[in-house]
Amino acid sequence: MPVKKKTTTKKIVKKTAKVKTKKKVEVKKKLPTKKKQPVKKIVKKKVAKKALKKVVKKIVTPKAPKIKKVIVPQEFKEGENIVYPTHGVGRILTIEKFQYDLVEEQLYVIQFFQDKLTIRVPFAKAKLIGLRNITSKPSMTRTLSVLKQKPKIKKAMWSRRAQEYDQKINSGDIKLLSEVVRDLFRKDDQTEQSYSERQMFQVAFERYTREFAISSSLKFEEASTKILEILNKR
């Protein structure tokens, strides 16, 4: 009888051990496990990050735009007197650089003292405008012979003649300018002029006299008295 009791205790111990191991397995199964991400998704994320880095680099470091420089030879110097066809005698104050729409070019800064006007002319447009040097003294003295001639007045309406005179004044040609001075000049004892005729004569006379004064190294007042003497003697 005592042998039978020993066997029953061993069986009970084994059963309890099995129950405990089963419970542990069940607890392990119930614990949440981290899901592993598939390999394809990880690769896609890495590629996307690299693409973003490239885009950021392109935005942060853009290439500087190239500035195109217009190179034209300089014909006039600072402080030099010149003739601008539509404004008359002027002086180049300075030479400036100007940049616009990724283009850089040089400009003449010209001042006209009689009109209190300052303009800027690009080097590239100087010839097109007709910018020129002061007429030399020998050429200027030849134009004085034009002033000694009798006026040549066409038999036409004043509006048409005024248009022709205006074209001659703004042509920049000193000879054509002297012709306007000759034709529009009137002595004190001659017939009166209209207001527009007097105004046009004053513009032509002033432009011609200023260039004559610089060419002959005279003051404006001295040059004007000399020209008026020639006109009155004819």
Please check whether residue 74 lies inside any domain of the structure. Answer: yes
- Is 171 a member of any domain? yes
CATH code where residue 214 lies: 1.20.58.1290
pLDDT of residue 69: 80
What is the residue range of 110's domain? 68-133
The three-state (H, E, C) secondary structure of 67-133, written as one string: CEECCCCCCCCCCCEEEECCCEEEEEEEEEEEEECCEEEEEEEEEECCCCEEEEEEHHHHHHHCCEE
The answer to whether residues 185 and 107 belong to one domain is no
Give the residues across from 133 on adjacent strands: 82
User: Among the three residues 133, 153, 188, which one is the final residue of a domain in this structure?
Assistant: 133
The reported pTM is 0.70
Same domain assignment for residues 98 and 186: no
* pLDDT score for 156: 87
**Cα(163)–Cα(180) distance, integer angstroms:** 12
pLDDT of 38: 55
What CATH number does residue 113 fall under? 2.40.10.170
Q: What are phi and psi of 116, to 5 degrees?
A: 55, 50
Q: Please tell me whether residues 79 and 155 are part of one structural domain.
A: no
pLDDT of residue 116: 84
What are the phi and psi torsion angles at 153 (to 5°)?
-105, 125
Residue 227: predicted pLDDT: 97
Parts of the chain with a pLDDT under 70: 1-62
The backbone torsions φ and ψ at residue 102, rounded to the nearest 5 degrees and listed phi first, read 60, 25
Structure-token pair, residue 183 = 């034709």
3-state secondary structure of 13: helix
Q: How many domains does the chain divide into?
A: 2
- Measured in degrees and rounded to the nearest 5, phi and psi for residue 98 equal -130, 135
